């Protein structure tokens, strides 16, 4: 647990952080967010004493951080930054080994730990261990940066816009991957960003700051549903309803669907279909091939003629997709009801537009 009480940072006449109180539970993924100059980075850097607070107290698990030597404190806290800052003269392996080496771990333990971390971040140790930072892409470098922050297995991780310099595709895949890692490791994370979508996607709690003060500190859903004031409302943007959808999963909302196999034929289809609903056409394994509406069935000579075919990989929705992505797929393909499929395209059920609107 990290607790800040009355933490203030003054630069000459200006107050960068004003008497901030913030308490972060263990295992929580807390995102500090706000416009530039709001004091979020300063707050983060006061936790590992890269910046010394002018006033106030910061405690980790009940112990005042001022009672440690700064270096000793920092070795116990993982730290990752936007510009990564890998050491260019060290291999990936040596970079990750920096803190364990400072902590004088023995060689075998370090080597084992480095391999473990590379694998955790989906970097093949055989390929990456001996590479130098100049041989890595931006995404790979940041993975190594995160691995380096995790190296000595710190309970707390401070991350200052770690994915901010990456292109949108790499950023999104790294966000997703880091969430997976976090589910596994359950670190206490303090994460700074100015990107509200990133905050919504990653955070279990969001702390919104402005002019050095904390404006609202709550779970993402709560911030979307009841923003504390006009500033928060404007900051989360006009599409807060869509952002909320992004936090909800398809899983609990989809229903069972009616389907028919190709060989069962037109007559069976007419018997099975219900007015106002669609019938999904599948192959023998249950992979979705298309959909049949009551209207298309009337006057059709066979099942193929009545079917509008679709590709389940493009038009199908997965169970753990979020509702915003599901809605996007439905708008794109003009569905009122979309098929929910597994990885192989096998029909699991259907999700209706009305189910999303009611969510």
Partner 1 sequence: MGNFVTFHANRIVAGAPFTIFESAGTMVAAALLLLLAAIICASLYSGGGKWRDYALGALPPIATALLIYTAGHAARALSLDATPIARVSLGSGFWIPLLLLPVIYFDSIQNNEGLLAPAAAGVLSTVAVAVFFVYGFMDDLSLMKEFANRSDRFFSELSTHLTLSGVAVSLAVLIGAPLGLLAERRERLSGPTFFTLNVLQTIPSLALFSILIPLIAALLALFPTLKEAGVGAIGSTPALIALTIYSILPVARNTYTGLRTVDSAIIEAARGMGMTPLERLLKVELPIASPIILGGVRIALVQAIGLTAVAALIGAGGMGTFIFLGIGQSADDLILLGALPTVLVALIADGAMQGMIKIVKPKGI
Contacting residues toward partner 1, per CB under 8 A: 48, 50, 70-76, 79, 81, 83-91, 98-99, 102, 132-134, 145, 148, 158
Minimum CB separation from partner 1 for residue 59, in Å?
A: 19
The torsion defined by the Cα of 55, 61, 67 and 73, in degrees rounded to 10, comes to -100
Minimum CB separation from partner 1 for residue 128, in Å?
A: 13
Nearer to partner 1, 160 or 321 (CB): 160
Residue 296: CB atoms within 10 Å: 16
Nearer to partner 1, 158 or 340 (CB): 158
Q: Identify the bridge partners of residue 261 per DSSP, sorted by sequence position.
A: 282
Cβ–Cβ under 8 Å, residues 258 and 274: yes
Minimum CB separation from partner 1 for residue 104, in Å?
A: 12
Minimum CB separation from partner 1 for residue 312, in Å?
A: 45
Per the structure block, which two tokens stand in for 133? Answer: 């930072």
Identify the CA nearest to 182 among candidates 144, 156, 219, 214: 156
Residue 70: CB atoms within 10 Å: 13
User: Which contiguous run of DSSP H or E holds residue 42?
Assistant: helix 40-47
Nearer to partner 1, 5 or 83 (CB): 83
Minimum CB separation from partner 1 for residue 222, in Å?
A: 32
For 99-160, the DSSP string reads HHHHTT--HHHHHHHHHHHHHHTT--HHHHTT--GGGS-HHHHHHHHHHHHHTT--SEEEEE
Minimum CB separation from partner 1 for residue 141, in Å?
A: 11
Cβ–Cβ under 8 Å, residues 46 and 7: yes
């Amino acid at each position: 647990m990290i607790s800040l009480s009355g933490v203030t940072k003054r630069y000459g006449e200006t107050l960068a952080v004003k008497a901030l109180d913030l308490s972060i539970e263990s295992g929580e993924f807390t995102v500090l967010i706000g416009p530039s100059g709001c004091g979020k980075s300063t707050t983060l850097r006061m936790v590992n004493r890269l910046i010394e607070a002018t006033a106030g107290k910061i405690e980790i698990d009940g112990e005042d951080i001022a009672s440690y030597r700064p270096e000793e404190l920092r070795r116990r806290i993982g730290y990752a930054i936007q510009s990564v800052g890998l050491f260019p003269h060290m291999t990936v392996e040596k970079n990750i080994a920096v803190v364990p080496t400072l902590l004088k771990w023995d060689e075998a333990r370090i080597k084992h730990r480095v391999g473990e971390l590379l694998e955790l971040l989906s970097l093949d140790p055989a390929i990456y261990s001996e590479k130098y930072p100049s041989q890595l892409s931006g995404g790979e470098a940041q993975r190594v940066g995160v691995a380096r922050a995790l190296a000595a297995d710190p309970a707390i991780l401070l991350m200052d816009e770690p994915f901010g310099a990456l292109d949108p595709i790499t950023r999104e895949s790294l966000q997703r991957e880091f969430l997976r890692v976090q589910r596994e490791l359950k670190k206490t994370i303090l994460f700074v960003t100015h990107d509200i979508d990133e905050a919504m996607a990653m955070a279990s709690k969001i702390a919104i700051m402005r002019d050095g003060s904390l404006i609202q500190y709550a779970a993402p859903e709560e911030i979307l549903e009841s923003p504390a004031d006009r500033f928060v409302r404007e900051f989360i943007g006009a599409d807060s309803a869509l952002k909320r959808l992004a936090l909800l999963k398809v899983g609990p909302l989809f229903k069972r669907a009616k389907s028919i196999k190709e060989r069962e034929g037109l007559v069976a289809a007419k018997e099975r279909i219900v007015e106002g609903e669609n019938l999904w056409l599948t192959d023998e394994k249950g992979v979705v091939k298309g959909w049949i509406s009551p209207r298309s069935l009337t006057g059709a000579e066979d099942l193929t003629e009545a079917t509008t075919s679709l590709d389940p990989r493009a038009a199908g929705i997965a169970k753990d997709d979020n509702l915003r992505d599901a809605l996007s797929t439905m708008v794109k393909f003009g569905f009122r009801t979309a098929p929910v499929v597994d990885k192989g395209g096998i029909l699991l059920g259907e999700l209706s537009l009305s189910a999303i609107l009611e969510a």
